[in-house]
Amino acid sequence: MLSAGIHAAAVALPLVWSNRVLPALDLDVRGRTAANTAFALAYTFAFQGNPRWISAHGLRAGAVAGGVVVAGYGAALAIPPIRRQLAGSAHRGPAVSTLEWAALHIPGGTVFSEELVYRATLTPLLEESYGRLGRWLGALTFGLSHVRAARSADDPILGTVAVTTTAGLVFDRLRLRTGSASAPALLHLAINAGGALAPFAARRGEGFLVGGRR
C-alpha cells in the first residue's frame, strides 16, 4: 500500500494544476491544450498510471455509450423547439472555430488529458488502498478540478462540481467494468464534443430553414 503522502500528492496535483497553475499561465486555447497534455503525460508517468487504451471490450463499450449520447443529441436537434433553443444559446467555446475546438482541443486538451489523470491513474491508485471510497474520492477530485472553469464561465460552482463528480462516477464505472480508459474516454468525447457541435448544428439548421422560407 502506498503512503498517505503519495495519495495526498496524487489528489492535490490535479486540483492545483486545474484551478491555480494553468489559469495563471494565461495561455490561449492551443497553449492550454498542449500544457494539459504535457501535465497529464507527466502525471501518469510519475504515478504509474495505465490507461490500457487498446482494449476491444473498452472500445466496444465506449462506442455503444457514446453512440447513445450522439443519438440523444440527434433527437434533440430533430425537435424544432429544442433546436431553436440550442440555436439561440450563447457560444461558450474558446476563440477558435467550433470545428477546431471539437476536433482537436476537446479530444486532446480535455478528454485525453482528464482520462489519463483520473480514470487511468488517480482513481485506480486510490481504489487500490481505499476500495469504493477511493473511487468516490477520485470522482470528487475530478469534480473539484472544474471549480475555476465554472467560476470563469459564471456557472454555479456547486452545481458544476455535483454534475462533474457524477460524471466522474459514471466514467469510473465504465473503466472498472472494461478495464480500460478507452470506454469512458469515448463517452466523455461524445458528451463534450456533442455539446459543442449541437448548438453549431442547430444554428446552421435554423439558418437554412429561415433562408429556405424567404
Q: Is residue 198 part of a domain?
A: yes
Q: Is residue 86 part of a domain?
A: yes
Q: Is residue 22 part of a domain?
A: no
Domain count, the chain: 1
* 93-147 pLDDT tens trace: 778 898 899 999 999 999 999 999 999 999 999 999 999 999 999 999 999 999 9
Secondary structure (3-state) at 157: helix
Q: Is the pLDDT of residue 213 over 90?
A: no
Q: Is residue 147 part of a domain?
A: yes
Cβ-based burial of 207 (10 A; exposed 0-12, middle 13-18, buried ≥19): exposed
| Whether 196 contacts 98, CB under 8 Å | yes
Identify the pLDDT of residue 134. 96
Identify the pLDDT of residue 210. 41
Identify the pLDDT of residue 2. 67
Q: Is residue 208 part of a domain?
A: yes
Which pTM does this prediction carry? 0.92
CA dist., res. 71 & res. 94, Å (int): 25
| Whether 104 contacts 26, CB under 8 Å | no
* 162-195 pLDDT tens trace: 999 999 999 999 999 999 999 999 999 999 999 9
Q: Taken in order 17, 18, 19, 22, is the CA torsion positive or negative?
A: positive
For 142, the domain range is: 4-11+53-213
Q: Is the pLDDT of residue 49 over 50?
A: yes
Where residue 105 falls (left for φ over 0; alpha for ψ -120 to 50; beta otherwise) is alpha
> Which residue bears the cell 486545474?
18
Q: Is residue 89 part of a domain?
A: yes
If one counts every other C-beta atom within 10 angstroms of the C-beta of residue 53, the result is 15
* 67-90 pLDDT tens trace: 999 999 999 999 999 999 998 876
